[in-house]
């Protein structure tokens, strides 16, 4: 049985999603930030015959994220009926094992989909990281936002980034993001950041080094400092990556693949 969740369901909903805090980074963050009864955000729960919550569906604006207990059947068709009845629906994202069960019911509206590796870290690999010096790594304050954005804009992989100085500064101020960096020759040359931080997990983003300063281990130093701080706070870390070569570097630090994250775009229903 599927029904819309309310604040009264928070305990059982949170109990379900916190079992996999990194995998449910976005659901947890959105619940903590906006709750259950906003015009732009809603949650539905799928309950089994014993009344146990086995799956949830989050709507945040036009995007829907489904989650279900691992290896548990759930009403995938029922979730898609909710999505298709929403005039805002144009996106879906989530773990491949779960979105794959919804995809057949949405194929007529599918525009495109993208698959990325999804990895998480709950413990640093001491064999790799214990000899990494982080003495030169600084944590950014709001006043560093302009330099951080300028540095990222100088890295080809981030040339189409939509990050702005205002958004970077706001994230550092409100605690939803933190950044670490290394300076050389008086300017920032390497950085690593988090985004979408919540009480249980955070996503690592913006790992970058200027071309002329690569091969010095700077990005690894920033990552180790960042990961150590968040793990000390009891948070799980996660990240997306496309390039398997980059994945090797993350795995040396302590990240492990947990599957694939899917991002779908759908055609809106014609009036």
Domain residue ranges in the chain: 2-117+262-266, 124-253
Nearest CA to 211 out of 249, 157, 161, 155 is that of 155
| Count of other CB atoms within 10 angstroms of residue 90 | 19
Cα separation of 213 and 215, whole Å?
7
Q: Mean per-residue pLDDT for 197-213?
A: 94
pLDDT in the model for residue 207: 93
Cα separation of 197 and 70, whole Å?
24
Cα separation of 214 and 221, whole Å?
12
Confidence of residue 115 (pLDDT cuts 50, 70, 90): very high
pLDDT in tens, 44-90: 999 999 999 999 999 999 999 999 998 889 999 999 999 999 999 99
CATH fourth-level superfamily of 2-117+262-266: Gcn5-related N-acetyltransferase (GNAT) (3.40.630.30)
CA distances 127 to 80, 123, 251, 252, Å, are: 45, 12, 12, 9
Asked if the model's pLDDT at residue 269 lies above 80, the reply is no
Are both 2-117+262-266 and 124-253 of the same fold?
A: yes
As a whole-number percent, the residues of the chain with pLDDT over 70 amount to: 99
CATH fourth-level superfamily of 124-253: Gcn5-related N-acetyltransferase (GNAT) (3.40.630.30)
Q: What are phi and psi of 252, to 5 degrees?
A: -65, -35
Nearest CA to 205 out of 182, 236, 232, 178 is that of 178
């Amino acid at each position: 049985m599927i029904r819309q969740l309310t604040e009264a369901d928070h305990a059982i909903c949170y109990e379900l999603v916190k079992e996999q805090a990194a995998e449910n980074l976005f659901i947890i963050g959105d619940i903590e930030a906006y709750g259950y009864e906003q015009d732009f955000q809603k949650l539905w729960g799928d309950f089994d015959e014993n009344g146990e919550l086995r799956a949830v569906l989050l709507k945040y604006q036009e995007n829907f994220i489904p989650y279900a207990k691992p290896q548990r059947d759930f009403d995938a068709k029922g979730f898609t009926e909710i999505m298709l009845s929403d005039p805002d629906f144009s996106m879906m994202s989530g773990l491949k094992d779960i979105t794959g069960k919804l995809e057949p019911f949405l194929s007529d509206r599918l525009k495109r989909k993208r698959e990325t590796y999804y990895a998480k870290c709950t413990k640093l690999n001491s064999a790799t990281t214990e000899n990494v010096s982080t003495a030169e790594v600084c944590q950014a304050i709001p006043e560093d936002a302009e330099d951080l954005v300028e540095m990222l804009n100088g890295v080809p992989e981030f040339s189409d980034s939509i990050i702005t100085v205002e958004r970077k500064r706001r994230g550092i101020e409100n605690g939803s993001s933190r950044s670490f960096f290394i300076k050389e020759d008086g300017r920032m040359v390497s950085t690593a950041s988090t985004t979408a931080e919540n009480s249980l997990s955070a996503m690592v983003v913006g790992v970058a080094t200027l071309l002329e300063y690569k091969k010095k281990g700077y990005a690894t130093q920033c990552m180790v400092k960042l990961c150590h701080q968040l793990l000390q706070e009891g948070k799980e870390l996660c990240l997306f990556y496309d390039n398997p070569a980059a994945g090797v570097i993350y795995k040396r630090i302590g990240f492990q693949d947990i599957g694939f994250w899917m991002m779908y775009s759908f055609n809106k229903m014609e009036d």
